[in-house]
Chains A and B, each alone.
Chain A
Amino acid sequence: EVQLVESGGGLIQPGGSLRLSCAASGFTVSSNYMTWVRQAPGKGLEWVSVIYTDGRTSYADSVKGRFTISRDNSKNTLYLQMNSLSADDTAVYYCARLFDTAIQYFDYWGQGTLVTVSS
């Protein structure tokens, strides 16, 4: 059974840093495109970052230069390092697998972890 379990969220002051983790089971993280998607309270969904099977990464403009996506193949875990956080980064952060065939879609999602940036 495929499962994604996020952790690492919490309350952080503006300007602070946080690292989110997403432990995967039922499939191999390094053999799939893995992403982070976030949702601000009461708002819609926003794609944040992707790491491809070859290790290339890409980011939304809103987080470029501040967030870093990575993975640990030995732990089958995805990470998101978030620096220089602001109130605009307050959201539930989901990790999701991006299934890649002729079309790409987010087929498996974690339960999400809440990040609150506030003083």
Chain B
Amino acid sequence: QKEVEQNSGPLSVPEGAIASLNCTYSDRGSQSFFWYRQYSGKSPELIMFIYSNGDKEDGRFTAQLNKASQYVSLLIRDSQPSDSATYLCAVKGGGADGLTFGKGTHLIIQP
């Protein structure tokens, strides 16, 4: 059974600092990796996706993928109070697979 593991938190980070969120996955055949942000009472919002080993940057967000270690991370630079949310890591295998989600990390940015 495919599993995606995340630390549930809460992870508390001071405003302006770097928030680091981590995720491990069990299926070595996984091909695509996604980070979603979910505010309380709202649906998940896609913020980053990565398909190849290495880093991918988009504004204040950097996704990092290490397939050998089966590890994905998300860095948020210059954290803002509006970044306070639950961050969901999702993994997709090759072919017609649905996304397998972690339970999410609750991030709190302290002003």
Do A and B actually bind? no
Which residues on A are within 8 Å of B, measured CB to CB?
Answer: none
Name B's A-contacting residues (CB within 8 A): none
